[in-house]
Amino acid sequence: MQKEYLLVTGAAGFIGSAVAAHFLKLGFAVITIDNLSTGKREVIPEDVIFIEGDAGNAFTVKELEQFDISGIIHIAGQSSGEVSFEDPEYDLRSNTNSTLLLLDYAKRKRIKQFVFASTMSVYGNQHFLPVTENTIPNPVSFYAVGKLASENYMRIFSKFGISSIALRLFNVYGPGQNMDNLKQGMLSIYMAQAIHSNEITVKGSLDRFRDFIYINDVVNAFEKAFSKTKEDGIFEIYNVCSGAKTHVRELLELIVKHSQSSIKVNVIEGTPGDQFGIFGSPWRVNVDLNWRATVELKDGLEQMMKWAIKQ
Amino acid sequence: MQKEYLLVTGAAGFIGSAVAAHFLKLGFAVITIDNLSTGKREVIPEDVIFIEGDAGNAFTVKELEQFDISGIIHIAGQSSGEVSFEDPEYDLRSNTNSTLLLLDYAKRKRIKQFVFASTMSVYGNQHFLPVTENTIPNPVSFYAVGKLASENYMRIFSKFGISSIALRLFNVYGPGQNMDNLKQGMLSIYMAQAIHSNEITVKGSLDRFRDFIYINDVVNAFEKAFSKTKEDGIFEIYNVCSGAKTHVRELLELIVKHSQSSIKVNVIEGTPGDQFGIFGSPWRVNVDLNWRATVELKDGLEQMMKWAIKQ
């Protein structure tokens, strides 16, 4: 039997790579687009067809014309709120124009399934927590503005018969995360510092809090969301979170506990557009997709630490 | 005394032209950027310094470096929801990248006042009417997605000391409106048809409804908003609307009444992304800016009809 082609953008990155590997295992032929700006070529799973280029560039997307793709999972994009302040125009192109180009491609090729890696950043700072999909977005970084605009494009294209789901990912962590990039991933940043220098510099208060979600749970959410897009003309938004509120202080304690030596913690000024505290309600995705987080932070962090020390 | 320089983008268009003329009268030296894509050169008020180009293009915005501008009123942009479906990428560049470039310019030049022409389109279709600034946006056109993203950029830049106000304009009408563009402006489209062919083709149901606001009232809202941005680091959103709900049917009756001959009305299928019915609450802007609509539709329409027949 011929395999179905699936496009998973960003397979040279942490989440894209894990999602691509998973769909390969499920029997799909996986194609990826990645510009290797932060991703690494060696992270792309074997057997994935690799188109090198920016998904926000029409020329790159044109290269897809040769394939008969049945679905798109769009994960590629500049992924740091902090970095989005350095070049907002690039951020808009990589996170928003890419979605527009891929949706337009899907429309022309009658591709009916589209899943998008959105972000909890769209909520910004909120008074009422946990945030639900019904909370009014209040983006405080360029990154978040662009992701939110992408969701809105999906809503429009769902009227053209493209079933779309935006997964608002909270703080994803786990083995495979880029341990060299100190501007992306709160948990991996702290862990990398603990391993390499026995000293963690925290940008912003220890009283801040987050909702951490393990990579395997996230991959599972993409699988369930992709199945759901078989339904006609839907547009859905789901929080992909654990629902647990973890203070930066508690996170540091866990990292220190699993470290092999003593760790010094320095607290310095926060980064622009950083959210003070957020955690989400996973209720909607649980009801609709029967998905829930299965890995607790203490266990996931232990797994990741073992993996990270071996790197 | 030397005049203050003010940038009013889009002065070759209906609203931009009226706003530019008003601020000239208030004593400002007015500069404009316009790409003349739908605007007309002869509409730009005399004495306005004209930079021809797209405000969504970095090269055009660079031409502003020579001026010492004290405030920006950003009105330029592709302004038709219907047209945004023909070229979504252009729409994103003209309505969103332009805002980003101008805000970035303002930040570099320490310009502290920024007023933006947003749109009631960001609300899309809503169950609870009238819409307030607290209603969750639900954009159903590319045009609306881009305008909403621009508002969000303004929120971020207000943290950098740029006081920003987004005016969500409802259905603006009045003398000066482009009577040749049949894809922009519900009232002007119907009126132009009535005058030129004694026959009005309505795209969509007569039961649809809108909130019409006269151009002079809108100009006044820009003046009040601009004054308000003298306050430090604010970010505000205001509905600029009358608060009155007018059905398409009633609007047509008014136009027919003021026409000099009998008019035939044809109803055909609606356009993509068209909102069924919307009207707004002008309460917030009334409380904060002491602004309210002063011209009733029947009077404004009569004024406009007299003007239009003379064209």
Do the Cβ atoms of A175 and A303 come closer than 8 Å? Answer: yes
A88 — contact with chain B (CB < 8 Å)?
yes
Q: Choosing among B90, B145, B154, B159, which should be mutated to test the A contact, i.e. which has the most A CBs within 10 A? A: B145
| Predicted TM-score of the model (pTM) | 0.90
- Chain A residue numbers with beta carbons less than 8 Å from the beta carbon of B145 are 149, 152-153, 156
Mutate to test the interface with A, among B156, B164, B237 (most CBs of A within 10 A): B156
Judging contacts by C-beta atoms under 8 Å, the chain B residues touching residue A89 are: 58, 97, 100-101
Determine contact: B89 vs chain A, CB below 8 A. Answer: yes
pLDDT at A79: 83
| Closest CA of chain B from A159, distance in Å | 9
Give the tens place of pLDDT for each residue, A225-242: 999 999 999 999 999 999
Q: Report ipTM (2 d.p.).
A: 0.83
B156 vs A contacts (CB less than 8 Å): 139-142, 145, 273
Q: What residues of chain B, 231 to 260, have a C-beta less than 8 Å from chain A?
A: none
Chain B residue numbers with beta carbons less than 8 Å from the beta carbon of A141 are 156
Contact assessment for residue B91 and residue B142, using Cβ atoms and an 8 Å cutoff: yes
A148–B146 C-beta distance less than 8 A:
no
pLDDT digits (tens, 9 = 90+) for B243-285: 999 999 999 999 999 987 889 999 999 887 778 999 999 999 9
Average the pLDDT over each of A195-204, A215-224, A270-279, B197-206 and give the range with the smallest value. A270-279
Average pLDDT of chain B, as a whole number: 94
């194609």: which residue's tokens? A31
- How high is the pLDDT of residue B2? 81
Cβ of residue A273 closer than 8 Å to a chain B Cβ: yes
The mean pLDDT of chain A is 94
Mean pLDDT in runs of 10 for chain B (311 residues)? 92 97 97 95 96 95 94 93 86 92 96 98 94 94 95 95 97 94 89 93 94 98 98 96 97 92 91 86 96 97 94 84
User: What was the pLDDT predicted at A273?
Assistant: 74
Check B153 against A142: CB less than 8 A apart.
Answer: yes
CB contact under 8 A, B145 and A149: yes
For the ranges A27-41, A69-83, A107-121, which has the lowest average pLDDT?
Answer: A69-83
